[in-house]
Structure 1
Amino acid sequence: MAAAAAAAATATAAPEEERTIQEELSLPIILADRVSKSAQEAESSKFECSELAKQVDRLSQMLRTFVRLSTNSTSTFYDRPVRRICCDITKTLERALSLTRKCRHSGPLRHLFSITTTADFRKVSNLLESSIGDMRWLLSLFDSDGANLSLPPIASNDPILAWVWSYISTIHMGPLKDRVDAANELASLAKDNDRNKKMIVEEGGISPLLKLLKEGASPEAQIAAANTLYNIATDEERVRLIVDVMGIPIIVAVLGEAQMKVQIVVANLVARMAEMDSVAREEFVRENVTRKLVSLLSADLVLEVAKPQAAKTSIHSIVQMNKEMTDNKSMRNPKLLSVHTSSFSDGSSRGRKEREAESPEVKLKLQVSCAEALWKLSKGSLATSRKITETRGLLCLAKIIERESGDLQFNCLMTIMEITAVAESNADLRRAAFKTNSPAAKAVLDQLLRVIQEESSPKLQIPAIKSIGCLARTFPARETRIIGPLVDKLSNSNVEVAMEAANALGKFASPENFNGSEHSKAIIEFGGVPPLMKLLRSNDQAQVPGLVLLCYLALNAGNSKALEQARALNALEGAARSVVTQHPDLRELFAKAIHHLTLYQAGGHPHRQTFAL
């Protein structure tokens, strides 16, 4: 008895998270033995106690059988339902022990203070039957064919919990086919249902899914695991849990080594996690996922780099050369070095053969997924932007924007937009990646201008315009070919396009731009004032960016006849009060612009009383 008590005390003292399954089950086994012994010593309600003892003996045999099976199991054991069920069994056995102990004493006085009723025995008997049902379900996990979808009594009110337990257990211990099926079922449960996602995470589903992804037992298994993780990773908290269990190194390794159809879903997972959590974004960069994504994105591209020449080559000539070589793929120019991007990819010769055997549709899907991953990784990340610009990433993105269409072209445009947004606030990146003599930067600029001028979709034009605006401080005063296309978009029928054009031109004309005065004059020379005034009159949404641009033009070129003819002073005075009310940070800018225009406008007087802003 003393030994049993010591064992029970040891089991109780051990922290729950540190106990093995054998330690977890030791307490209910000891309690079962105590109940059986107490039932044998009963002086009253002997029949009820003997029936109770039979149930406890069945439960004890099941517990011991489970200990043997879990000890002999060669695969990783899933202990989450075991601990939960074991806790309930312990409470039930403690209640049974208390009941049988009341029946051990005889005598009128003892009987008075330990009254037991048939209802007490019925309640405990029902609890024991539920515990037996729970143990029967646990034992079935070892010999079931596929996931066991029967419901243990403990989960009778929540069948999803039992299914989650069964699927995760199958991923831990089942044969490969069953593991794939179980992972697919978890993916279905997690899709569009936050409660199920939370349950899968809480019940320990992330680690076995990562293990299934890492093992690479079959492409189907990896796809199933990656899809489930993708469906789970829909908020920052759950993405952070994947990061915390060292999931990112596994994901990056699989991205570089797996078959192409696996790489597609893994790239989607990278994009989802990067979009949801900034910590995951930085961890991916630390694991150098950018290099793998650029390699996969550009695997079928041949980027021609001209041999160095003594004479300077203009932006236009480089881009034109690339276009001509693209149109004449059958004719190789011996004077050019063909640099195939697979030279810096991670794939083996076997991987390249598999790639060549894949259909164009699969290759396109992979490129789309990789481009989206780069887009999400680049957002607000200086480290990712540097990684992309330090490889041949920019040149690759420019080539794809030139040749492709649809989602692939859009994702590449969005990637460039995010990189330029980071470069706008980081002078070092701006100078290093977008210097005027860089072939990659020139190729990107040419494609952005082409999209603005030739594409009709606002979905493509807007990121291209934003990118140009973010790079406004990199262009010299003599670079005027960019101003014209942006001025043209001020009169675009799509309001968002026109607003973005005004925003971009505002960055060119801004006092923060060293060449703001020259750019302002170029905007006016390209006829930017009339469409700007029309935009201000026709659309309330464009008021702020349009008026800010007008203020910059007034400050930099207040003596312009175009501003006077367009009655820019009246426009500013008429709109300033309402705008400044909502944007008080613009008060000083409006006051300076209005005062500056009064010096040049006909009838204006520097000492006239300006209205109170």
Structure 2
Amino acid sequence: MMKSPNPSPKLEEEKSLEEELLIPILMGEQVIKLAEEAKSSKVECRELAKKVEILCKNLRGVVRVVTGSHQSLNDRPIRRMVRELSKNLEKTLALVRRCKSQGVNVLRNVLTMSSTGDFRKVWNLLESSNGDMMWLLSIFESKGTNLSISPIASNDPILAWVWTSIYTLQLGNPKDRVEAANELGSLAKDNDRNKFIIVEEGGVLPLLKVLKDSAFPDSQVAAANALTSIISGDHDQQRFVQFLLSNLAVPVIVQVLSDAVFRVRVSVANLVSAMADQEPLAREEFIRANVTKPLVLFMSLDTVLNKPIAARSGLHSVVQNLSEVDSDGSNCRGREADQSPELRNDVKVSCAKALWKLSKGCLLACKRITETKGLICLAKMIESESGELRLNCLMAVMEITAVAESNADLRRGAFKPTAPVAKAVLDQLFKVVREERDSTLLIPAIKSIGSLARNFPGKVPHVLGPLVAHLGNKDINVASEVIVALIKFVCTDNYNRVDHSKAILELDGIPKLMSLLKIKDGHQVYGLKLLCYLALNVGNSKVLEQERVLSTIEKLARPVLAQNPDLKELFANAIHHLSLYQSGVQLHRHPLGLGL
């Protein structure tokens, strides 16, 4: 199996394809000349000479196609066959050279005589190489539609299929190119080895060229889908994406996304998603190529976006971007209004997914989306749409807020609770948490709110109320995500942690949390962390004493710390703090007494 999808870099001394083709032709002529001068095995040498003449004729036919073609043909198969051919001609040359020799010593003549087996072996090698040349000529003549297998690839049919498909992409008519791209995509889905072969044998650049050809949308769709199949998967697919990046695929993809018809946009947006999902560098390159503009534009099709932003200092660029993209959206709606609602929805879904994947851990992408109308568009989609489109928008917001959590400038600038756009997003997140029952929608909304925990002022029961309510959710995954979010409200990094802790108590969060701690699973550690932070922030509360929080932490601390020793100090401080406020509790019960 090949180790890398990157074609071997061409060495400075590597010959051009024309030069490499010339070598076996000259060798063939030398074989013919020596065969005529043979002193022994004359009949056999003449037969070899005839075979070599045919071989050279076919080889010259390949030269004419290569030099006369108006485009650069894939040279990987040609070079491979020609190098094998040269080796076979070297063996032929050595054989006929022995037959030309005429020594005076009879014993030497006997020793240098070639057997019938030697001639048969060389004949078979030449026959195989001639089959390769004939296969190439038939591929060129049929414009890639020949389905036969060349002798050199007889032990690996996948190789021949890949070669045929690549030549069809370069030489075939539009219908055949569609079939060839689909064939490559199907092979790529089968296994990783096929993906390596497709990339190694030069399949990426022809696919990109077909993708650029706007005159044939069906071919564009097939090419985009094939590229997506090549780079998708679970096993080290980054290298395939990196190969695309090194061949300047990003500008091509963004241009096609902007200019193509709707059915092409769906496939191209999916390609953007796949590349962004696999390689962080791809996310940044796409953002620098301004992919967010067409993605946001097509995602907001058929949607009238209100502009709640006033044109004041600091936000002028946002208002300007809103106007520009709204204008582009109107033009697009008018230009392709005849597209079916189903297709238009598919475009929105794929573009929303691309924004989601681009935002993952990418500060540049998140800034670009929040600095334009992307954020308000996501809020509007969450409000008005359903199904996969709504989910993709929620996932995009989740990734943006996750980046904002670790970047104060983005968090304070884009998600200030009083800012109109931020308020619109937060309103939709809280609406989802209050009204939805579907965990796939609830979880990204809960995570988003948790990521913005440091943005909220103290005493905000309308923020914490919907979260605390889900501590009683029957879906343990939803309840666990709520715990993780609440931890961010009450941990030491949050300035308003005491007010948030009081609000959780007032919302009857402790009884719900205590019930969750009875469930022994991997999420129990988060419940204990939340309980410890609450103990540190409002340890004097009677609710904590009534719910026997101290004894619960003491009971569960040891098994949890066995797997999470980094929490030892937090648990110790919480137990000690609760011991100070609860009557009848001896201070020697603090963690040291428990062996923590």
TM-score when scaled to structure 1? Answer: 0.90
Q: Secondary structure at the match of 1:481?
A: helix
Equivalent residue for 2:561?
Answer: 580
Contact 2:170 2:206 in 1 (8 A): yes
Given residue 572 of structure 2, which amino acid in structure 1 is its aligned partner? A
State the shift of 1:128 in Å. 0.8
Establish whether residue 55 from structure 1 lines up as the match of residue 51 from structure 2: yes
For residues 309 and 342 of structure 1, the distance between their equivalents in structure 2, rounded to whole angstroms, comes to 12
Equivalent residue for 2:578?
Answer: 597
CA distance 1:21–1:502, change in 2 (3 Å)? same
State the shift of 1:77 in Å. 1.6
Equivalent residue for 2:4?
Answer: none
Q: Alpha-carbon deviations, 1:249-275, whole Å to 9, x = none? A: 111111111111100000000001110
CA distance 1:109–1:376, change in 2 (3 Å)? same
Establish whether residue 83 from structure 1 lines up as the match of residue 79 from structure 2: yes
Equivalent residue for 2:263?
Answer: 261
Q: Secondary structure at the match of 2:595?
A: coil
Any stretches of 5+ residues in structure 2 without a counterpart?
Answer: 1-9, 313-318
Residues 82-101 of structure 1: pairs in structure 2 closer than 5 A: 82-101=78-97
Equivalent residue for 2:396?
Answer: 415
Q: Which region of structure 1 is more displaced relative to structure 2, 424-433 or 298-307?
A: 298-307
CA distance 1:398–1:187, change in 2 (3 Å)? same
Contact 1:554 1:593 in 2 (8 A): yes
Residues 99-110 of structure 1: pairs in structure 2 closer than 5 A: 99-106=95-102, 107=104, 108-110=106-108
Given residue 259 of structure 1, which amino acid in structure 2 is its aligned partner? V
Establish whether residue 612 from structure 1 lines up as the match of residue 595 from structure 2: yes
For residues 310 and 375 of structure 2, the distance between their equivalents in structure 1, rounded to whole angstroms, comes to 20
CA distance 1:568–1:475, change in 2 (3 Å)? same
Contact 2:300 2:329 in 1 (8 A): no
Q: Secondary structure at the match of 1:103?
A: helix
Equivalent residue for 1:249?
Answer: 251
For residues 275 and 86 of structure 2, the distance between their equivalents in structure 1, rounded to whole angstroms, comes to 41
Structure 1 moving runs of 4+ over 3 Å: 14-18, 306-310, 338-343, 345-354, 605-610
State the shift of 1:353 in Å. 3.3
Establish whether residue 275 from structure 1 lines up as the match of residue 277 from structure 2: yes
For residues 307 and 444 of structure 1, the distance between their equivalents in structure 2, rounded to whole angstroms, comes to 13
Q: Alpha-carbon deviations, 1:180-223, whole Å to 9, x = none? A: 22112212222232221111111000011111111223111110
Equivalent residue for 1:478?
Answer: 459
Contact 1:256 1:347 in 2 (8 A): no
Equivalent residue for 2:132?
Answer: 134
For residues 28 and 348 of structure 1, the distance between their equivalents in structure 2, rounded to whole angstroms, comes to 60
Equivalent residue for 2:3?
Answer: none
Contact 1:295 1:341 in 2 (8 A): no
Identify which of 19, 24, 41 aligns with 2:37: 41
Establish whether residue 66 from structure 1 lines up as the match of residue 47 from structure 2: no
Contact 2:322 2:372 in 1 (8 A): no
Contact 1:483 1:522 in 2 (8 A): yes
Contact 2:321 2:373 in 1 (8 A): no
For residues 500 and 297 of structure 2, the distance between their equivalents in structure 1, rounded to whole angstroms, comes to 38
For residues 201 and 15 of structure 1, the distance between their equivalents in structure 2, rounded to whole angstroms, comes to 19
CA distance 1:574–1:49, change in 2 (3 Å)? same
For residues 290 and 179 of structure 1, the distance between their equivalents in structure 2, rounded to whole angstroms, comes to 30
Q: Which region of structure 1 is more displaced relative to structure 2, 466-475 or 105-114?
A: 105-114
Identity %: 54
Q: Which region of structure 1 is more displaced relative to structure 2, 343-352 or 595-604?
A: 343-352
The number of residues matched between the two structures is 573
Q: Secondary structure at the match of 2:337?
A: helix
Equivalent residue for 1:175?
Answer: 173
Establish whether residue 506 from structure 1 lines up as the match of residue 502 from structure 2: no
CA distance 1:31–1:376, change in 2 (3 Å)? same
CA distance 1:386–1:517, change in 2 (3 Å)? same
Establish whether residue 424 from structure 1 lines up as the match of residue 405 from structure 2: yes
Q: Secondary structure at the match of 1:512?
A: coil
Q: Secondary structure at the match of 2:306?
A: strand
State the shift of 1:479 in Å. 2.4
For residues 203 and 33 of structure 2, the distance between their equivalents in structure 1, rounded to whole angstroms, comes to 40
Q: Secondary structure at the match of 1:43?
A: coil
For residues 340 and 79 of structure 1, the distance between their equivalents in structure 2, rounded to whole angstroms, comes to 47
Contact 2:321 2:372 in 1 (8 A): no
CA distance 1:293–1:78, change in 2 (3 Å)? same
CA distance 1:446–1:161, change in 2 (3 Å)? same
Residues 118-517 of structure 1: pairs in structure 2 closer than 5 A: 118-144=116-142, 146-234=144-232, 235-306=237-308, 343-344=324-325, 351-517=332-498
State the shift of 1:237 in Å. 1.1
Residues 21-36 of structure 1: pairs in structure 2 closer than 5 A: 21-36=17-32
State the shift of 1:147 in Å. 1.8
For residues 224 and 292 of structure 1, the distance between their equivalents in structure 2, rounded to whole angstroms, comes to 21
Q: Which region of structure 1 is more displaced relative to structure 2, 171-180 or 423-432?
A: 171-180
TM-score when scaled to structure 2? Answer: 0.93
Any stretches of 5+ residues in structure 1 without a counterpart?
Answer: 1-13, 311-337
CA distance 1:18–1:249, change in 2 (3 Å)? farther
For residues 455 and 114 of structure 1, the distance between their equivalents in structure 2, rounded to whole angstroms, comes to 90
State the shift of 1:307 in Å. 7.9
State the shift of 1:567 in Å. 0.3
Contact 1:52 1:125 in 2 (8 A): yes
Contact 2:302 2:333 in 1 (8 A): no
Equivalent residue for 2:533?
Answer: 552
Q: Which region of structure 1 is more displaced relative to structure 2, 457-466 or 215-224?
A: 215-224
